[in-house]
């Protein structure tokens, strides 16, 4: 199968999956107990006419199939309604917060991938020896530790005992009007601890996956053939082993990118990082259903698109998956 045909088939499946995901989100928030308008209208000063006007404004007085149609139309237009708490458009709130999350997730994914690949390749190549044992223990510890616990340990160690970095936030409002370099240095210091935490919690997964995959690859016949041809260890590792061992890690990285909202909730909450993760946590506390619904839609779309990109990368790295 040609790559173009494969990409088209996967693209159609991706679009169908996105619509299924949107349908699940629509039904999920309407099956929750309680009426969101009643929660919004707890103020005893609101008259029954005002409550009815709120229901009409949010479309809750219409039949379910009409609500579903309006929901799809609004979702395609990135119109997720008005936040109960912020009293402003959900889309504008999510866009502002999404940029902060993308900064954390993007740099964190890059660092965790590099760290996980290095530990996994060393462990797989030196299987059973002391570099493998040290790397495997470190990877298992990172993989098993809760992200909020790692975050609190880092805060205590490097913000309390040794006050090197700030305890949280994204910037220092006291530096308004200072030179750009001082402001940039302050922002990087605020980013350091959440970035380290996010990188560590995923590096363990990548290291274990790459190590186990590399061990399996090194036992294949084509590796023995490469050795028989006189290729050096580094040539075998670079040209044959790592490329094939990276396939499972590619899927894992794509899935983690899709799970960025859930994956950053605890990290952003610990460090008060104003991203989508912290926004989801606060929305649950505030019972802000439109904001939660918009965040879940973004989460589902990003996860499905990330898996589509992973399928395309798989088809490039290993053409056999096209058939």
**Better pLDDT: 75 or 47:** 75
Angle (CA) 299-300-303 rounded to 5° is 85
**Per-residue pLDDT averaged across 94-113, rounded?**
86
Residue 308 has pLDDT above 80, yes or no: yes
pLDDT by residue (tens digit) across 106-124? 888 889 889 988 899 888 8
Copy the structure tokens of residue 272.
């008060």
pLDDT of 25: 85
Q: How confident is the model at residue 232 (pLDDT cuts 50, 70, 90)?
A: confident
d(CA 74, CA 81): 8
**Per-residue pLDDT averaged across 289-316, rounded?**
82
Residue 44 has pLDDT above 70, yes or no: no
pLDDT of 196: 92
d(CA 244, CA 83): 47
Q: Which of 69-78, 185-194, 257-266 has the lowest mean pLDDT?
A: 257-266
Q: Which of 30-39, 77-86, 126-135, 177-186 has the lowest mean pLDDT?
A: 30-39
pLDDT of 259: 62
**Per-residue pLDDT averaged across 215-240, rounded?**
81
The answer to whether 54 and 81 are in contact (CB under 8 A) is: no
Q: How confident is the model at residue 261 (pLDDT cuts 50, 70, 90)?
A: low
Domains, the chain, with CATH or none = 97-317 (1.10.3720.10)
Residue 40 has pLDDT above 60, yes or no: no
Strand-pair partners of 82: 89
DSSP string, 97-143: HHHHHHHHHHHHHHHHHHHHHHHHHHHHHTTTSHHHHHHHHHHHHHH
pLDDT, averaged across the chain = 81
The answer to whether 256 and 316 are in contact (CB under 8 A) is: no
Buried b (16+ CB within 10 A) or exposed e, 6-35: beeebeeebeebbeebbeebbeeeeeeeee
d(CA 59, CA 79): 13
pLDDT of 62: 75
pLDDT of 247: 74
Residue 138 has pLDDT above 70, yes or no: yes
**Per-residue pLDDT averaged across 42-49, rounded?**
62
**Per-residue pLDDT averaged across 8-25, rounded?**
89
């Amino acid at each position: 199968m040609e790559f173009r045909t494969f990409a088209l088939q996967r693209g159609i499946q991706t679009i169908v999956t996105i619509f299924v995901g949107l349908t699940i989100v629509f039904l999920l928030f309407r099956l929750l107990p309680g009426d969101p308008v009643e929660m919004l209208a707890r103020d005893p000063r609101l008259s029954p006419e005002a409550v009815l006007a709120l229901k009409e404004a949010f479309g809750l007085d219409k039949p379910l199939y009409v609500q579903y149609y309006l929901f799809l139309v609004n979702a395609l237009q990135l119109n997720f309604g008005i936040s109960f708490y912020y009293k402003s458009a959900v889309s504008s709130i999510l866009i502002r917060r999404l940029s902060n999350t993308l900064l954390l997730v993007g740099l964190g994914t890059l660092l965790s991938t590099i760290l996980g690949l290095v530990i996994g390749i060393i462990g797989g190549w030196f299987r059973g020896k002391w570099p493998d044992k040290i790397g495997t223990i470190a990877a298992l510890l990172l993989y098993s530790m809760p992200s909020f616990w790692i975050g609190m340990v880092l805060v205590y160690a490097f913000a309390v005992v040794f006050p090197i970095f700030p305890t949280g936030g994204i910037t220092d409002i006291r530096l308004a009007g200072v030179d750009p370099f001082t402001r940039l240095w302050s922002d990087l210091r605020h980013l350091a601890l959440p970035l380290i935490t996010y990188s560590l919690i995923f590096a363990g997964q990548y290291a274990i996956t790459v190590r186990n995959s590399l061990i399996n690859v090194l036992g294949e016949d084509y590796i023995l053939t490469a050795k028989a041809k006189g290729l050096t260890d580094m040539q075998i590792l670079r040209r044959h082993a790592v490329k094939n061992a990276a396939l499972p890690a590619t899927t894992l990285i794509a899935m983690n990118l899709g799970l960025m909202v859930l994956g950053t909730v605890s990290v952003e909450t610990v460090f008060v990082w104003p991203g989508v993760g912290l926004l989801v946590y606060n929305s649950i506390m505030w019972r802000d259903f439109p904001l939660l619904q918009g965040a879940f839609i973004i989460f589902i779309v990003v996860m499905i698109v990330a898996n589509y990109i992973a399928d395309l990368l798989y088809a490039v790295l290993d053409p056999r998956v096209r058939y």
